[in-house]
Amino acid sequence: MEQKETTLWDVLCICARGLTRAAQWCITVVARMLRISFQRWWIVGGVMLLGTAAGIYYSRPANKIYKVRAVATLNGPSVNEVKNFYESLHEDFNAYYVIDCLNDGVADYTDYDRKNSLTDTTRVVMKDQIAFQFTISNRKQIPLFEERIMYYLNTNPQFVDEYQVYKKHADRQYRFDCEQVDKLDSMTTAFYANANVSQIHSNAWELTMGRKEIVLPLKSIEVFMEHKAARDSRYALTTAPVVLHGHFEPMHKAINGRKKCTAVGLIAGWLLGCLIAFLLDERQRILQWLKQKE
């Protein structure tokens, strides 16, 4: 007998039947839990109160836990090298990629959800920036944590060697830019010193004197100065292998907020209370099953 070929419609029907059975099972379980809650309300209610109390206690002010974050610039070390080293310092330490959506060298957001794909060309991982995060309960200790973290990062022998190579290149680029600025200053000074005002013609791109024997490229100078200003800002951050943008700052809301922990404790208490009530109702059957011999 020939086997019937499975079509897409058959697959969809099988999936639909499976989802229907799963939905029916969930409805049956919830209905039974509601019935148990009504019949054994003193057990379920008592456990729910305990769960709520536990949630409130866990979220007490002295036990608040906060996420602390900072963004840093890397001078030499790669993002993955720093990420792996930072996360190896402690299990609560996490590092995240900084994403450049427009590929213009400007950070657009930090991938705290770890959803960005390294193969995604529309969201480029920045090579010289990284975000750090850790959790803490005593916010007064953040400066101490910051000091120790930066010490470990900036004394890592590998990072120091890579930084020294990077710094030499950055110094050469900075000196070259300064030399070009000096040359432009000399050129513009000479241009205006030798110019006759009546002979100067201008447009959006350049100034010319006379019959264009001398041309002053205004637009090129403007573009160069903009690039130099950006490079100067970047050069100011080349003081160490890893340089923070400001300081580590705690998030305003605690991880274990009062409302969140109370809701979790209430739901967990309800589930646990239903389970306890169910086990008490079925204790005779459970004992008989345990006494049965194979």
Considering the domain architecture, whether residues 57 and 88 belong to the same structural domain is answered as no
| Bridge partners, residue 96, by sequence | 131
- More confident of the two residues 278 and 242: 242
Q: Could you give the 3-state DSSP secondary structure of residue 58?
A: helix
What pTM value is reported for the model? 0.72
Is 4 within a domain? Answer: no
Hey, which bits of the chain come out as E strands?
Answer: 66-74, 94-100, 109-110, 124-136, 200-202, 207-209, 214-216, 242-244, 249-250
Q: What is the pLDDT of residues 49-108, one digit of tens each?
A: 999 999 999 988 888 899 999 999 999 999 999 999 999 999 899 999 999 887 777 888
Q: What is the pLDDT of residues 244-285, one digit of tens each?
A: 998 999 998 888 888 889 999 999 999 999 888 888 888 877
Q: Given a cut of 80, is residue 201 above it in pLDDT?
A: no
Q: Which domain holds residue 69?
A: 65-250
Residue-level pLDDT at 71: 94
Is 280 within a domain? Answer: no
Considering the domain architecture, whether residues 115 and 168 belong to the same structural domain is answered as yes
Considering the domain architecture, whether residues 142 and 268 belong to the same structural domain is answered as no
Residue-level pLDDT at 219: 64
Number of domains in the chain: 2
Considering the domain architecture, whether residues 69 and 59 belong to the same structural domain is answered as no
Q: What is the pLDDT of residues 10-35, one digit of tens each?
A: 788 888 888 999 999 888 888 888 88
Is 10 within a domain? Answer: no
C-alpha to C-alpha distance for 59 and 91, rounded to whole angstroms: 22
Mean pLDDT of 107-131: 82
- More confident of the two residues 1 and 181: 181
Q: Which of 4, 20, 28, 66 is nearest to 248 (CA)?
A: 66
Residue-level pLDDT at 118: 64
Considering the domain architecture, whether residues 54 and 96 belong to the same structural domain is answered as no
Considering the domain architecture, whether residues 139 and 55 belong to the same structural domain is answered as no
Q: Given a cut of 60, is residue 200 above it in pLDDT?
A: no
Q: Share the mean pLDDT of the chain.
A: 83
Residue-level pLDDT at 268: 93
